[in-house]
Amino acid sequence: MKVRLKESTIMSRTLLTALCSALLCASPVWADVYTWTDANGNTVYSDKPNPNAKRIEVSAPNSMEAPKPIPAYESSSSSAGSSSSNSGSAASGSYRRLEITSPANDTPVRANDGNVTLVVAFDPPLRAGHLLRARIDGNLGEQALPGAGQAQANLTVTNLDRGSHLVEAVVTNSEGKEISASTGITLHVQRTSLNQPGRIGGANQAPTAPAAPAAPNVPRPPATGG
């Protein structure tokens, strides 16, 4: 790219600056600017060197980084939702962990009286105003353990029949509304049969001792006269 100017016009600093800027803009990268006088006495400016050319020092143009995109404004409802999510179960009242840790799932349990104690773990701890209950085969039990900030609690289930039962730990509020429920476990309750020998009167009754044999009848001697 060459530009020829009369000597009378190249003295303008403004024109020189504009020309240098045009040369810089026309090049894909920063290019050097050269000047020389041709055979007709004209001053020539070019980004390509000439044997008699002089290199012009061109100062770097002012540059500015493109502004970073501004994130979209979050509505108050979105912020509230995020805050609620961070607070997790504390906001909703639910529990991150509600688990029956004992007995283990699919375990045979011997309970002649039908009573089985469940060990239940909580995270966060069982809150005040919440009640821990057991759900047996889909039926929610009446017995309830009130929350007092305990991370683990024992709850006894009573009068379980022999056989297999699906057992769940359930947390409700004081009105009986379910808040959280554990994964169910299967228990195989074993109770002593009433038909076993020595258990006729009940599972906890001691065996009856056999009756003592009766003494044999001995004939009395005949009476003698006096």
pLDDT tens digits for range 99-152 = 999 999 999 999 999 999 999 999 999 999 999 999 999 999 989 999 999 999
Average pLDDT, the chain: 75
Do you know the residue count of the chain? 226
CATH number at residue 107: 2.60.40.10
pLDDT at residue 66 tops 60: yes
Same domain, 179 and 99: yes
Tokens linked to 24: 């810089």
Predicted local confidence at residue 74, as pLDDT: 46
- Degrees (nearest 5) of the Cα angle 50, 53, 58? 115
Total tally of structural domains belonging to the chain:
2
| pLDDT above 80 (res 158) | yes
pLDDT computed for residue 38 by the predictor: 79
Tell me which range, 24-28, 37-41, 69-73, is most confidently predicted by mean pLDDT: 37-41
Asked whether the whole model's pTM tops 0.85, one would answer no
Position 168 in a domain = yes
* CA-based end-to-end distance of the chain: 175
Residue 24 lies in a domain: yes
pLDDT > 70 in the chain, percent: 55
Q: Is residue 156 part of a domain?
A: yes
Q: Is 30 inside a domain boundary?
A: yes
Q: Which residues contact 91 (CB under 8 A, 6 or more apart)?
A: 84
Q: Identify whether residues 99 and 185 lie together within a single domain.
A: yes
Distance CA 166, CA 187 (A): 7
**Which residue from 41, 39, 2, 5 is spatially nearest to 14, judged by alpha carbons?**
5
Q: Which residues, including other chains, have CB under 8 Å from residue 80's CB and lie 6 or more apart? A: none
Can you tell me which residue has the tokens 């805050």?
83
Note whether residue 207 is domain-resident: no
Residue 50 sits in the same domain as residue 106:
no
C-alpha span between 208 and 204 (Å, rounded) = 12
Q: Is 149:156 a contact under the CB 8 Å cutoff?
A: no
Asked whether 182 and 169 are in contact (CB, 8 A), the reply is: yes
Q: What is the pLDDT of residues 33-51, one digit of tens each?
A: 778 787 787 887 787 777 7
107 within a domain of the structure (yes/no): yes
- Whether residue 92 has pLDDT greater than 60: no
Residue span of the structural domain in which 101 resides: 95-190
Q: Do residues 118 and 183 lie in contact, with contact meaning Cβ atoms separated by under 8 Å?
A: no
